[in-house]
Amino acid sequence: MLTKSSTEMVRQQNSALVLAALRRQGSLAHTDIAAATGLASATVSAITADLERLGALERHEQPATGGRGRPRVLFGRKRDFSYLIAARISSDSVQYSLADYTGTLIDRFDEPRDHGTPSPAAFIAGFREALSRMAGRSRLLPERIAAVSISSKGMVDAGGSRLLWSPVFGRAEIDFSTALALSPQTRIRLNNETLLVAHALGLRADKEPGKPFQALATLSLGHSIGLGIARRGHSGELEVSAPNFGHMLNASDGKLCRCGSIGCVEASAGFYGILRTAFEVPPDTIPAKFVPLAEMDKIAARARQGHRMSEYAFRQAGLALGQGLSRVLSLHDNMPIVITGHGTRYIDLLTRGLDEGLAQSLHVRIYGAPEITIVPEEAMLVFEGHLDRALTEIDHDVAGLRAEEAQAR
């Protein structure tokens, strides 16, 4: 017999299943919800009624085909039930996006980054002001913002709120949960950016008909180098991780990385590493914190025109990436690799070294090279990852409210 607490847990899990189906598939009829979740019809009826009472769901009628018969009743997430803000911290700017409970983008603006000596305190003050401005532009009270989802390159603690190391702030830790001091009911979550990319790509792959999704890795190329891995877990859920790939020691070549180590993948393959090699700067030169795309385009143009050191710089970058990926495949088995980020515009210059690095691995020589796909729209993938992860957390809160109300009745 189920105990009281286990009954509440089952009720909460079932509510979360219904909300997830409506989040990922849009408005659905009662029978479609039951089919998508595997729940009994009576259970779906009870859940949708409770969630309507809470204001999380709304119903509307869809006219019958041909205009005859009774219209279908569809249940959907209520747009103004709650809101979230997604903040993407990148090397040159911070992008703020406001979305409603259906995941629809409402507002967006970018704030340029200061490339001088960064101050975490000044950054947080500007961040807090931008969040307030974002809510004010849509005339939303602070308590209507159910979640603030933040992403950055670098190392994030397991608790999901502290930035332990980043390319800009170095070892100056930032605890966003404490520093932002938002409304108590607002969830604050920090994610590694490439983890969000992997999450979004995993969701996309899972929807492809006739191709059962098992795993994929995503490699982000740009000022920083990131890696994300998405897998189908034992329970069937999407499991995502972001190994510290860019700062994995790769070669004893004396190249200084932004993290302070020597010989990281990023020290060769990040934009600053390519620039340093192309201009024959000593490998232990302190890396540039930011390399404009226009400067990288010039180096790429020279490489395509046959400039020896520029070609060599991109080839060495590709080699470091290929060697690093070969180690990932040796640990995790073969999986498709999706390459994204600003660096994809130079993939023609990186490919030779990338193939070389992969071919050096016994694993690749035996099992073959992985399937590699280029998906340049990294910003959209980051936003999709923000939405799904943040809305999932909001849904769990809503499911908890529904369970509490049902227990009280």
CATH homologous superfamily of 198-376:
ATPase, nucleotide binding domain (3.30.420.40)
CA-based nearest residue to 192, from 154, 218, 159: 154
Lowest mean pLDDT, pick from 9-13, 104-108, 239-243: 9-13
What is the tens place of the pLDDT at every residue in 174-195?
999 999 988 888 999 999 999 9
DSSP reduced 3-state for 210? coil
| CATH class belonging to 4-77+395-408 | mainly alpha
Using DSSP bridges, classify how beta strands 187-192 and 215-220 pair: parallel, antiparallel or unpaired: unpaired
State the pLDDT at residue 409: 61
State the pLDDT at residue 258: 92
Does the pTM surpass 0.85? The reply is: yes
What is the tens place of the pLDDT at every residue in 352-369?
999 999 999 999 999 999
Question: Is residue 130 exposed (0-12), middle (13-18) or buried (19+ Cβ within 10 Å)?
Answer: middle
CA-based nearest residue to 226, from 356, 324, 359: 324
Q: Where in the chain is the domain with CATH 3.30.420.40?
A: 81-185, 198-376
Question: Is there a contact between 375 and 338 (Cβ–Cβ < 8 Å)?
Answer: yes
What is the tens place of the pLDDT at every residue in 273-328?
999 999 999 999 989 878 999 999 999 999 999 999 999 999 999 999 999 999 99
Rg of the chain over all Cα atoms, to the nearest angstrom: 24
The Cα-based distances of 263 to 150, 166, 180 in angstroms read: 29, 18, 36
Two structure tokens written together for 263 = 């010989």
Would you place residue 87 in the very low, low, confident or very high pLDDT band (cuts 50, 70, 90)? very high
State the pLDDT at residue 2: 43
Helices (H), 55-168: 120-137
Lowest mean pLDDT, pick from 200-204, 215-219, 288-292, 378-382: 288-292
Say whether domain 81-185 belongs to CATH 3.30.420.40.
yes
Q: Where in the chain is the domain with CATH 1.10.10.10?
A: 4-77+395-408
Q: Tell whether the model's pLDDT for residue 1 goes beyond 80.
A: no
